[in-house]
Structure 1
Amino acid sequence: MRKVIAAINMTIDGYCDHTYGVADDELHDHYTALLRNADTILYGRTTYQLMESYWPLVAKNPTGDKSTDEFAMVMEHITKVVFSYTLKSVDWDSATLAKRSIEEEVLALRRQPGKNILVGSRSLIIALLNLHLIDEFQLCIHPVIAGKGLPLFANISESMKLHLTKTKTFGSGATVFYYEPQRS
């Protein structure tokens, strides 16, 4: 069965805001490798629109920065499933709108053959956490105190113990913590 991996950037005080992170070559290389080990990424409307407004343009008009351009090309081709109550269509060729509930969609995807399934939106991570459908967390903590924003772990229905399996530290000071939920 395919693994569902929640991967997100956040500040040291727990807020999800991409503008506070250090998007250097090392971080782009890390996320390019993560995407290459997956074949599907799940997005909510807000994150999808943020990604769709930038990365297809880079894929069509490379920046000349190898890490950024490679990330854009991998992002361009990975299948994206978008969950939205308001979007009627999506423009990115590799994206589709989910037709089922989050739970039904993820359970169906897990049964299909393929690589890992990534979850790249805060709202979906919360929903899937509450449904016990996340197999691994990859939390990239940036050495920044934001003091405000959207906390990752808001509206969690019950506590959950996690097991730290490894860490990866970047030159910027950002660290990825790899956790697996401890199932009872």
Structure 2
Amino acid sequence: MKKIIAAINMTLNGNCDHNAGIPDEEIHYHYADLLNTAEVILYGRITYQLMQFWQSLLKNPSGEKSMDDFALAIDKIQKIVFSNTLKETGWDSAKLSTKPLEEIILELKKQSGKDIFVGSRSLIIQLIKLNLIDELQLCIHPVIAESGLQLFENLNIKTDLKLIKTKVFKNGAIILYYKPTVESITID
């Protein structure tokens, strides 16, 4: 059965601001490799629109191999976008979801194939509440951001996690790989 893997970048103080991290060649290669091992990635509208930046590198490569390779990987992977406002995706490999998140996840998990990645803060929060994440990959950048959305903001649920491995990058970023150990408990 496929795994649901939530993968996201964040600052040391928990902000999910795409401008606050330190993406370098090593991190671009890591995420390009990660995308090449997955079947589909799920995005909310805001993150999806941020990721559309990579389409410009398909038409006009940057000349930086790691960025251009990531652009190819993000273009190739199937994307499902959850939005109430978008009418079209503008990307051949992306489609708008016509079903609720939980229903899509349960359908995808039953199929054979590669894993399912979730790359949006809002979807990660929803899936934690639904107890549907099999692995959480937190890439923590050595930055303290003054503002931004907190990854686990307003999450009134306790989820115990087991650290299963780590990966350290030369720039000081670290990925913590966690697996939920028990069912989540709602906290009043």
Normalising by structure 2, we get a TM-score of 0.95
Asked if the contact 1:55/1:72 (under 8 Å) is kept, the reply is yes
| 1:67 maps onto 2:66 in alignment | yes
CA distance in 2, matches of 1:113, 1:89: 28
**Structure 2: any 5+ residue segments left out of the alignment?**
184-188
Stretches of 4+ aligned residues off by more than 4 angstroms = none
Question: Please, what is the CA RMSD of the aligned residues?
Answer: 0.9
Letter of the 2:67 partner, please give it: T
SS in 2 for 1:154: coil
Which residue of structure 1 aligns with residue 93 of structure 2? Answer: 94
Letter of the 1:24 partner, please give it: D
Which residue of structure 2 aligns with residue 47 of structure 1? Answer: 47
For each residue in 1:95-129, what CA deviation from the matched residue of structure 2 results, as whole angstroms up to 9, or x when unmatched? 00001101001111111121111100000000011
Letter of the 1:62 partner, please give it: P
CA distance in 2, matches of 1:127, 1:170: 29
Which residue of structure 2 aligns with residue 17 of structure 1? Answer: 17
**Structure 1: any 5+ residue segments left out of the alignment?**
none
Which residue of structure 1 aligns with residue 80 of structure 2? Answer: 81
SS in 2 for 1:74: helix
CA distance in 2, matches of 1:175, 1:181: 19
SS in 2 for 1:70: helix
Q: Give aligned pairs, total.
A: 183
CA distance in 1, matches of 2:108, 2:122: 19
